[in-house]
Amino acid sequence: MRGYKIFILCLCALLFGCSSKDPEAREKLAFADRFVANIQARNLLAIEPMMATAMNTLEIRSNIRSVVGSFPRAPAKQPMMKEKQRLRYEGRDITRYVYFLDYDDNDTAYFAVVTIGAATGTIYRGESYEVIGFYVFPRKMSDIKGNEIEFEHLRVGQGIILLVSVVFPLIACLCFVACFFSSLAWKQKLSWLVAILIGYPQISYNWLTGGAAVNFLGLQVPMVAFYRIEQWLDLGVWVGFPLAAVIYWRKYPADVRKITSFAASLPKRIRTALSHLATKNPLT
């Protein structure tokens, strides 16, 4: 009985440790929230004690004042924290927060990027952290909505790239399975398996603008990837053409035909197996 009690106590302690959040991370996030709230409120006097000594210069304060002055006067919604990145810069642990600032009745939104580090020069002002980097990136709301993947109003290029993003991996998977169960020697088989997983050439597509490019010097693994380096940048799609899979299909069509015929017969096999089970174990 004593062993069960010890086990339950250890389990509760483990669950409590997993669910508890880092208090330092909460304090740092609260500090960043307060800085962004003061920015939106145009309270420049409140943000000065929060900035690092290197940032608290006349030129930087003037730049921040001009940026804040460009914000619309319409009531703003609460800032939404979209991304958090922990980085290490010059031997110092820093955290970068990306906020989305949305304003009512305005076609422009703003992404505020705030970089926070432990306080060094502002510790005497009562702050445990300091802002060591801040900039604002304006973006049209139409562009932000245009970067979302929605299937109701697809343009021709978007429909083509989505179709390609499905078809190319299916071709690669089909040839991969066919090669794996083929009668080729293992050295030759491994070479084909690795080559089939690599897409060449690399095709890139900008979801918002519709710009497409083919990179003949790029390899794509995995076959399809959606990327957005920063929250405010356009959504991009990378697709790799399954060149090795197509070559394998042309060279060993019988192997691929076996897999396709087996896949086509699967529904019939499943129905037959279910009917056998039903006749073997009839419901009463």
> Does an H or E element contain 15, and which?
helix 2-19
Q: Are 226 and 278 in contact (CB under 8 A)?
A: no
Domain boundary residue among 90, 118, 146?
146
Nearest to 125 by CA among 221, 48, 25: 48
Are 140 and 183 within one domain? no
Are 197 and 138 within one domain? no
Is 5 domain-assigned?
A: no
The helix/strand/coil state of 125 is helix
Are 97 and 178 within one domain? no
Are 139 and 171 within one domain? no
Domain boundary residue among 112, 146, 180?
146
Six-digit token string for 133 = 């980097």
pLDDT of residue 240: 95
Separation CA 279–CA 8 (nearest Å): 48
51-68 as b/e, with b when 16 or more CB fall inside 10 Å? bbeebbeeeeeeebeebb
Is 213 domain-assigned?
A: yes
Is 255 domain-assigned?
A: yes
Are 103 and 135 within one domain? yes
Is 38 domain-assigned?
A: yes
pTM of the entire structure?
A: 0.67
Are 43 and 70 within one domain? yes
Is 81 domain-assigned?
A: yes
pLDDT in tens, the chain (284 residues): 555 445 455 554 454 444 445 677 888 889 999 999 888 888 888 888 888 888 878 888 888 888 888 888 777 788 888 888 888 777 788 899 999 888 877 788 889 899 998 887 544 456 788 898 888 888 888 888 888 888 878 889 999 999 999 999 999 999 999 999 999 999 999 999 999 999 999 999 999 899 999 999 888 988 999 988 787 889 999 999 999 999 999 999 999 999 999 888 888 888 888 888 877 666 55
Are 46 and 136 within one domain? yes
Is 246 domain-assigned?
A: yes
Are 125 and 220 within one domain? no
Is 12 domain-assigned?
A: no
Separation CA 29–CA 116 (nearest Å): 9
Are 106 and 221 within one domain? no
Are 112 and 43 within one domain? yes
pLDDT of residue 282: 60
> What CATH number does the domain containing 103 carry?
3.10.450.50
Separation CA 146–CA 204 (nearest Å): 17
Are 124 and 185 within one domain? no
Which residues constitute the domain of residue 76?
Answer: 18-146
CA distances from 28 to 15, 99, 118 (A): 24, 14, 9
Tell me which residue has tokens 């990027």: 113
Six-digit token string for 159 = 């429909």
Is 283 domain-assigned?
A: no
Q: Are 143 and 171 in contact (CB under 8 A)?
A: no
Phi, psi angles (nearest 5°) of residue 83? -155, 145
The helix/strand/coil state of 169 is helix
Are 111 and 70 within one domain? yes
SS percent in the chain: helix, strand, coil, step 5: 50, 25, 30
Count of structural domains, the chain: 2
